[in-house]
Structure 1
Amino acid sequence: MQSPKEIRLAIRNGAHNTNTSGLAGGFVQANLAILPADWAAEFLLFCQLNPKPCPLVGVAANPGDIAIEGLAAGMDIRTDVPKYRIFEEGQLVNEVEDIRDYWRDDLVTFALGCSFSFEEALLADGLEIRNVTEGVNVPMFRTNLACKPAGRFSGNMVVSMRPMKPADAIRAIQICSRFPSVHGAPVHFGDPAAIGIDDIHTPDFGDAVSIREGEVPVFWACGVTPQVVLEQARPPFCITHSPGHMLVTDLPNSKLSVF
């Protein structure tokens, strides 16, 4: 198995440009939000008020920094993610594999915990993760679950979904409660309409997965939430990861467990 640094170098060199689900077992993967400095304080407060969808695992010390100390050796945030999204005035304008041409000295990078980390703990306990089994990106949905507003940032939560038998869903709640820094326990399971999802087979982000007889959809807060919030806040410019295409860090998952 490749180390996190080897995976980042493969991404940097263009040898890997697809989603990172299942890579770097044992290590934290991170969602990204990169904002101008004059928006950063409000976004930091938004994350602090909404730790389920926006669990901070690192913030750049200074505007223009291309690394976050202690998160990933030799990190260059401009090249080490498989795919990025570029937003202007809240509108997606491009999706690229390298952001060096977009980089500015006033940009502040935020790294947020990712559900791929707790997937490893679920798999280790013998639970199936359908998106891993089927080799696709996890399905993600917009919901009617409101986040707490902070300054110019507000909006509803995005969730990721994994189908499970009810008994396995209960076990997943117990396991994921140990990992608050990577979204923690599910926020809902059962009827998708109860959280504003009209069609469970048509995700807003990621890929659809099969839901078998006797299974229920289980929903976790998702790190794509900041993208939806940024669309609504409409900063003049910002960058995020493309859903499912994460920063692979050197931070062990075990460091995020509270037990």
Structure 2
Amino acid sequence: MTRQAVSSYKQGLLETAQTLRQQIRAGEFTGSTSGLAPGLIQGNIVILPSDWAQDFLYFCQLNPVSCPLIAVSRPGEPLLPELGDGIDIRSDVPEYNLFIEGELTQTLTDISDLWNDQMVTFVLGCSFSFEEALQRAGLAVRNIDLGRNVSMFETSMPTTPSARFHGNTVVTMRPFSPADAIRAIQVTTRLPKAHGAPVHIGRPDLIGIDDLQAPHFGDSVPVHDDEIPVFWACGVTPQVAIRNAKPPVCITHVPGKMLVTDRLNDELAVL
């Protein structure tokens, strides 16, 4: 691909992302972002008061597979220029969860009325970013093919606690044939900022999952008899830690409804 072709390809992606964010900001799109804006980084969102931010940063550093940091804002700064032109964290996520003292109290499409100069935004990598890489490698991604959100499960695998944040790891699940599972491992290993390689393969009961058709978040997808479930760490893990830590207020994305950025997945890949 020539330099001009690469530039044209990237410009097309940016226009797609910016159009999608405009639709989200206008309240015209509130759905899952899985399969949308392929090739661009999508991010999980955690917004905390500044006096809780340092401990959450430490939690992310202790759990880099579940919580791969992409960006951290200054207190009170709603814009994220390093991730995209004009991104406003108060309005550019399809839906937000509002937690008060660790309890989910409300789902919102705009948090401008809740914003104050003490809020710090964390953007964490998301497995939706590697779905496009899987497809480029010729692998079918079941949740995208069916137009569904990915299946997410709270496991029995503990995270490493910080002073206040703690809890079990949440994973996403995608089924593959054994041969395709090997290829999926190879593809995702080079994308550590999108959770990287799987954390478990096969036997869901070994990580505390009783029923693959009853995900704790997202949608169920069929797993055929000749397939094995493959599990990746998930950026919903912090929402379990938030439930346990009980900060006075915290805002996150609704699982599966991510911030779509202007950054290319390949910018964060390990070659």
TM tier, smaller: over 0.9
What SS class does the counterpart of residue 184 from structure 2 fall into?
helix
Partner of 1:44: 57
**Residue 25 of structure 1, aligned match among 21, 25, 38:** 38
Tell me the equivalent position of 1:14: 27
Is 2:183 aligned against 1:167? Answer: no
2:69 corresponds to which residue?
56
Provide the C-alpha distance between the structure 1 equivalents of 2:28 and 2:80, rounded to a whole number of angstroms.
23
Instruction: Name 1:148's counterpart in structure 2.
Output: 160
Alignment of 1:73-112 (within 5 A): 73-112=85-124
Q: 2:121 aligned with 1:128, yes or no?
A: no
Q: C-alpha distance in 2, partners of 1:66/1:9?
A: 16
Given the alignment of the two structures, is residue 203 of structure 1 paired with residue 219 of structure 2, yes or no? no
What displacement does 1:170 show? 0.8
Query: Which has the larger displacement, 3-12 or 171-180?
Result: 3-12
2:260 equivalent to 1:251: no
Cα distance per residue 1:39-83 (max 9 Å; x no partner):
0001001101101110000000x2110012311110110000000
- Which aligned runs of 4 or more in structure 1 are off by greater than 4 angstroms? none
Q: CA RMSD in A?
A: 0.9
Q: Which amino acid in the other structure matches residue 10 of structure 1?
A: Q
Tell me how far apart the structure 1 counterparts of residues 156 and 38 of structure 2 sit (CA, whole Å). 33
Using the alignment, how far apart are the partners of 1:181 and 1:232 within structure 2? 25
- Displacement, 1:7? 1.1
Matched residue SS, 1:140: strand
Cα distance in 2, alignment partners of residues 58 and 6 from structure 1: 22
Determine the structure 1 residue equivalent to 2:250: 238
Name structure 1 gaps, 5 residues minimum: none
Q: Distance in 2 between matches of 1:70 and 1:37?
A: 20
- Amino acid corresponding to residue 216 of structure 1 in structure 2: I
- Deviation at 1:89? 0.5
CA distance in 2, matches of 1:225, 1:31: 10
Other structure's SS at 2:84 match: coil
Partner Cα distance (1:35, 1:86) in 2:
11
Retained in 1: the 8 A contact 2:150–2:220?
Answer: yes
Residue 233 of structure 2: aligned partner: 221
What CA distance in whole angstroms lies between the structure 2 residues aligned with 1:54 and 1:217?
22
Give the aligned residue type for 1:153: F
SS in 2 for 1:220: strand
CA shift, 1:182, in A, is: 0.6
2:113 is paired with a residue whose SS is helix
Alignment partner of 1:3: what SS? helix
Q: Contact 2:80/2:86 (CA < 8 Å) preserved in 1?
A: no
Measured in 2, the distance between the counterparts of 1:165 and 1:256 equals: 28
Identity over aligned pairs, percent: 55
User: What is the rounded CA distance, in whole Å, between the counterparts of 1:22 and 1:120 in structure 2?
Assistant: 7
Q: 2:150 touches 2:172 (CA, 8 Å); kept in 1?
A: yes
Tell me, in whole angstroms, the C-alpha distance in 2 between the residues paired with 1:68 and 1:111. 10
Aligned residue pair count: 258
